[in-house]
Amino acid sequence: MKNKKLLFTLFIAVVIAQLFVPFKMILSKEDTLKTGTPYKFITAPIDPTDPFRGKFIVLSFIENEFNIEDEKEWKRNEIIFVLLQNNKDGFATIKSIVKEKPAETSNDFIEAKVDRVYATEKNKRILIQYPFERYYMEEFKAKDAENTYRESQRDNMNKTYALVYVKNGEAVLKDVLINGKPIKQIVEENSATNK
Amino acid sequence: MNISKDLKELVEANVISEDIAGNIQAFYNKKENTSPNKLFIVFGILGALLVGLGIILILAHNWDNLSRLTKTVIAFIPLVIGQLLCGFTLLKKNNNTTWIESSSVFLFFGVGASISLISQIYNIPGNITSFTITWMLLCLPLVYLMKSNSIGFLYIIGITFYACKIGYWTYPHVETYVYWLLLLLILPNYYLLYKKSPKSNFLVFYNWLIPLSIIISLGTVATYFEEIMFAAYLSILGVYYLIGNSNYFKAQKLRNNSFLVLGSLGTIGVLLSLSFSWYWDDLLNIQFQYNGFKPYAEIIVTSIFSIIAFILLLKQFRKEFIKKSTLIEFVFILFIILFLIGLKTSFPVIIINLLVFLIGILTIREGARKNHLGILNYGLLIITALVICRFFDTDLSFIIRGLLFISVGVGFFITNYWMLKKRKSNEK
């Protein structure tokens, strides 16, 4: 009987751990969404050969590279911190990139990864892999969303951007918007008019 | 059971007395009562597996109309249901294998579903390796607390996937030994099962999954000096073969003797790939002396496995052992010698070819001695495989290749015919 009690206590501990992990994920993300600073990242046209992947759209961003001085200092897949600022149009740009985590109060920043290091004689830069390159959509709408996203990229007048909340290195992608309208809403409207 | 019918017939024919028939009947009745219904367990596990996966798929639809809060709550539902089922099983049904296994499997997928759904809700691109590790570690305690073996199997599959993902499918290559640590965590359960119920079907599953997982993941330790991994593989396969020849495993059916099957097939496979000259050409070109000799992970791993294989070999070594040997258990030692020679000359490739041929011949002899058509034809297949491999080497003339094929084909006919004839004459 005592053995059974101990077993059950341990089981409860495991149950709590299993609940804690997803809870922790939610809490930090919710906190960033509620108290973080929103930044607008202009998206770049995506490679049309990149196949549609599952139920999310793959985003790529204009502000995804940064000039460096010495290519030997940077390694692929290395963790970096991207310090952000807004340009005059209110879209996010990179202020600088550091390897050490900046102090919390100094500036808004995002933890990201080095995607690739480019180095030629004149041009040395790194490509950044942001932690918000996927936007999940409802299964049947994802294909339409992908098309809408692509069409908007073709038209230069359109401003397509990702709304990202940033707090203490963590970034949460809230929405993808085309000219200020959420992509989900556009897809819904399109499918309504098509019917 | 149909046995009562047979018993009746035997009693009527005066083959056995009624007393004996009664005893036999009682024996089977008792056996039937104590052994759990295997089919029920299997369907329980499969059912939980399918329902769990189905729930993940339905939630992956990513319902847009639901608010973030609703989606989050839904993400927890399978997890909490699984936990409640497991809690109930632990308190009320802790002797019922079907309940234990199916509720644990359901919870296993509940944990995976909740983590991946939260990632989806918050658009986290998700790093699949860290996701797998978190998932596996959160479920590992269930193996010991619920005493669920199917979670053990899913865990082994999960950590093997992790090892492959990080060791083979990630560029640039990262060194990781986490897999071996994770594997160590499941071994106590394997041992306990072996001690407690050495005849259980769960153990047979473990016997297949664990050695397979190790073979698959072994290659991930190679970073600098891949050629030596062949020695590591041959050593571990030698260990398997020797384990498969231990008394415990020899008493088992061949399909349950995973170690023997993997050890034998694996060794032949590796030897066949070594029978091409490319490996030995590569080995000659190695300039590892320029980097200096460092204790690379692959060298350490190779040494560990070959020492284990050597100890097992010494333990099983007897006079009659040599007589019956098909040489497979000695391959790892031979290869280490050939490897060292191979650093200076590519001559060992000839010895490897001879070795495979000899193993084939010895296997045929073993088959003939045991009057076992399976083993006999296995030996012939080894030689056939060797001939096919040589078929790809363009430097042999077509005439020689043709003659080789004809002689092996004729060999198949003659040996099988001879064996069947011998059986017939024995029956007379």
- Determine the distance in angstroms separating the CA of A146 from the nearest CA of chain B, rounded to an integer: 16
What does pLDDT average to over chain A?
81
Q: Which amino acid is at B197?
A: S
- When comparing pLDDT for B423 and B204, which is higher? B204
Q: At what angle do helices B258-274 and B348-370 cross, to 10 degrees?
A: 150
Residues A7 and A97 in one domain: no
Q: At what angle do helices B258-274 and B277-285 cross, to 10 degrees?
A: 70
pLDDT at residue B174, as a whole number: 66
Which residues of B lie closer than 8 Å to A, measured between beta carbons?
A: 60-64, 72, 75-76, 79-80, 83, 86-87, 90-91, 94, 107, 111, 114-115, 118-126, 134, 138, 141-142, 145-146, 172
How would residue B280 be classed by pLDDT, with cut points 50, 70 and 90? Answer: confident
- The answer to whether B326 and B250 are in contact (CB under 8 A) is no
Task: State pLDDT tens for residues B20-68.
Answer: 888 888 877 766 655 557 778 888 888 888 888 888 777 777 777 778 8
Residue B173 has pLDDT above 70, yes or no: no
Tell me if A21 and B134 make a contact (CB, 8 A cut-off).
yes
- The answer to whether B310 and B333 are in contact (CB under 8 A) is yes
Residues A157 and A63 in one domain: yes
pLDDT at residue A55, as a whole number: 67
Residue B140 has pLDDT above 80, yes or no: yes
- The answer to whether B363 and B379 are in contact (CB under 8 A) is yes
pLDDT at residue A50, as a whole number: 40
Residues A64 and A147 in one domain: yes
pLDDT at residue A133, as a whole number: 83
Q: How many CB pairs under 8 A join A and B?
A: 87
How would residue A15 be classed by pLDDT, with cut points 50, 70 and 90? Answer: very high
Q: Which residue has the tokens 């206590």?
A: A9
Q: How many CB atoms lie within 10 A of CB B325?
A: 15
List CB contacts (< 8 A) between B60 and chain A: 55, 139
Nearest to B329 by CA among B243, B200, B225: B243
Q: Which residue has the tokens 């590790």?
A: B133
C-alpha B69/C-alpha A29 separation (Å) is 13
C-alpha B84/C-alpha B105 separation (Å) is 13
- When comparing pLDDT for B88 and B287, which is higher? B88
C-alpha B351/C-alpha B339 separation (Å) is 11
Please count the structural domains in chain A. Answer: 2
- Determine the distance in angstroms separating the CA of B79 from the nearest CA of chain A, rounded to an integer: 8
Tell me if B61 and A134 make a contact (CB, 8 A cut-off).
no
List CB contacts (< 8 A) between B63 and chain A: 138
List CB contacts (< 8 A) between B75 and chain A: 22
Residues A105 and A152 in one domain: yes
Tokens for A41, please give them: 């990242």
Residue B197 has pLDDT above 90, yes or no: no
- Determine the distance in angstroms separating the CA of B122 from the nearest CA of chain A, rounded to an integer: 7
Q: What value does the mean pLDDT take over residues A189-193?
A: 76
Q: Which amino acid is at A46?
A: I
Task: State pLDDT tens for residues B211-242.
Answer: 999 999 888 887 777 778 888 899 999 999 98
- The answer to whether A66 and A191 are in contact (CB under 8 A) is no
Q: Mutation test of the interface with chain B: which of A25, A41, A137, A163, choosing the one with the most B Cβ atoms within 10 A?
A: A25
Residues A121 and A40 in one domain: yes
Residues A158 and A181 in one domain: yes
pLDDT at residue A103, as a whole number: 80
**DSSP classification of residue A69:** S
Tell me if A8 and B61 make a contact (CB, 8 A cut-off).
no
C-alpha B217/C-alpha B327 separation (Å) is 26
- Determine the distance in angstroms separating the CA of A18 from the nearest CA of chain B, rounded to an integer: 6
Percent of chain A with pLDDT over 70: 88
- Determine the distance in angstroms separating the CA of A163 from the nearest CA of chain B, rounded to an integer: 12
Nearest to A18 by CA among B111, B103, B118: B111
Q: At what angle do helices A2-35 and B97-121 cross, to 10 degrees?
A: 10
Residues A179 and A151 in one domain: yes
Domain boundaries, position A44: 36-194
Which residues of A lie closer than 8 Å to B, measured between beta carbons?
A: 4, 7-8, 10-11, 14-15, 17-19, 21-22, 25-26, 29, 55-56, 76-77, 131-139, 141, 172-174, 184
C-alpha A177/C-alpha B248 separation (Å) is 66
pLDDT at residue A194, as a whole number: 66
Cβ within 8 Å of residue A5, ≥6 positions away: none
pTM of the model: 0.80
pLDDT at residue B36, as a whole number: 58
| A76: nearest CB among B64, B120, B172 | B172
Q: Mutation test of the interface with chain B: which of A18, A19, A30, A188, choosing the one with the most B Cβ atoms within 10 A?
A: A18
pLDDT at residue B428, as a whole number: 62
A171: closest chain B residue by CA:
B124
Residues A15 and A103 in one domain: no
pLDDT at residue B295, as a whole number: 63
Task: State pLDDT tens for residues B326-377.
Answer: 788 888 889 988 888 888 887 888 889 899 999 998 998 888 888 888 888 8
Residues A127 and A145 in one domain: yes
List CB contacts (< 8 A) between A26 and chain B: 72, 118, 122
